[in-house]
Amino acid sequence: MASVRTTGAFVAAISMSMVLFSYFLCTYRSKRKTPFSLSKYKNPRNGLIHAVGNTPLIRINSLSEATGCEILGKCEFLNPGGSVKDRVAVKIIEEALESGQLVCGGVVTEGSAGSTAISLATVAPAYGCKCHVVIPDDAAIEKSQILEALGATVERVRPVSITHRDHYVNTARRRALEANELASKSKKSEQIDGKFSDQIDCCMSDGEKKGSIFSSYCNGGFFADQFENLANFRAHYQGTGPEIWEQSGGRLDSFVAAAGTGGTVAGISSFLQEKNPNIKCFLIDPPGSGLFNKVTRGVMYTKEEAEGKRLKNPFDTITEGIGINRLTQNFKMAKLDGAYRGTDKEAVEMSRYLLKNDGLFLGSSSAMNCVGAVRVAQSLGPGHTIVTILCDSGMRHLSKFYDAQYLSEHGLTPTATGLEFLGI
């Protein structure tokens, strides 16, 4: 009798288990059939603009192990437009719209060696704006191709000194003025005729139509002016800097980065040193740039050269987007404790080392920043935490920085097997 009761209890338990299993299986299947809904997911981002920023801060394992320091990289290449300049583009456009300097349907113009232009072309449509870019013709050709694919109009010009009328930045400034003049003519024509048109060419003569690159714009232009516009600095002071502080838990000893416009190094260094004055901030400067001398000696050039007048050599450096021969309003905001000089060969070798050992496929400025991080680690010694910026990936540098023939022609073919090029 006891055996029968035991068997009955066992069967009852099995039956109850089967009932519960069937219930949970049916519930699971019914949930799988539920249509996808963003509301079921935590903190969905609202469109492209809200996907900019909050990039991960990662440990660069190979460099950390080689130096005895914690070397961390802020993965800005994971922004929607592929670089740190997405932050700047968003900030510049938003401030311009808020101030009324730019209106929906207007065109944003910029002189850029590539990344800022690509970021502007990426985010401008999200604000209902268009983009016109003036780019030096020695920049990697793939950058122009990306810009055109994004819908921007691209104007390539020869590299000249910033003091020259046709420097790419000065040309971009003129293009914004031209767009505004055309918009003004359009408004006057509408007032006279009592007609309204969405196309500016309705009020232009045939000669003006042929000579203007803005014949399809009607709402004016705005020069982004990334070098002097302090929205650049604010993008990093209010965004990138606080993110680094939070992601590192405030436990960092140093920050290092190169400078082009100066906005990144200025915004981040200013924020970090306000949070903790003991954090040491450094510049890493490529060949052909005068910023190293300015930071370390107080003067940008030798006595034989007039500051701000030096002509740019077409091959000062293989790195793009960093190094400059003048002081920008953004760079003047930087809080720096010193500077290091990096070489093209070091940047090339570093990029291949990181690709081989960490799987990081980085652009030229990112590689130079990592050279700077190792230099700082060597200076401070083991046990310190150093942060740098991984600005963009190598995808925009295939025709020069990652082209074997180009590197060979300039004596930059990588040969290192480790970090011996930095004395490690």
| pLDDT tens-digit series, residues 64-94 | 999 999 999 999 999 999 999 999 999 999 9
- Predicted local distance difference test score (pLDDT) of residue 167: 92
Q: Between residues 103 and 317, which one has the greater pLDDT?
A: 103
**Residue 214, pLDDT score:** 59
Question: What is the arithmetic mean of pLDDT over 391-396?
Answer: 93
Enter the tokens of residue 108: 């944003």
Q: How far apart are CA 275 and CA 278, in angstroms?
A: 9
Quick check: 13 pLDDT over 50?
no
Q: Return the higher-pLDDT residue of 230 and 32.
A: 230
85 vs 140, which has greater pLDDT? Answer: 85
Mean per-residue pLDDT, 193-221:
50
- pLDDT of 80 reads 95
Helices (H), ranges, 194-321: 206-211, 231-235, 241-247, 263-275, 291-297
pLDDT beyond 60 at 193:
no
pLDDT of residue 299: 87
Joined together, the tokens standing for residue 61 give 């394992």
pLDDT at position 413 over 70: yes
> What pLDDT does residue 392 have?
94
In this prediction, residue 23 has a pLDDT band, given cuts at 50, 70 and 90, of: very low
Which residues pair with residue 132 across a beta bridge? 109, 153
pLDDT exceeds cutoff 50 at 35 = no
Buried b (16+ CB within 10 A) or exposed e, 8-23: eeeeeeeeeeeeeeee
- Is the Cβ–Cβ distance between 296 and 282 less than 8 Å? no
Mean pLDDT over all residues of the chain?
84
Mean pLDDT along residues 381-391: 98
| Angle of helix 85-99 versus helix 115-123 axis, rounded to 10 | 50
Query: pLDDT by residue (tens digit) across 315-370?
Result: 478 888 899 988 999 999 999 999 999 999 999 999 999 999 999 999 999 999 99
Q: Is the pLDDT of residue 125 over 60?
A: yes
pLDDT for 27 beyond 50: no
Residue range 251-279, pLDDT digits in tens = 999 999 999 999 999 999 999 999 999 99
At 276-307, the pLDDT tens digits run: 999 999 999 999 899 999 999 998 864 444 54
User: In 3-state terms, what secondary structure has residue 68?
Assistant: coil
Quote the pLDDT of residue 346: 97
Instruction: Give the confidence band of 190 by pLDDT, cuts at 50, 70, 90.
Output: low
What mean pLDDT do residues 208-225 have? 67
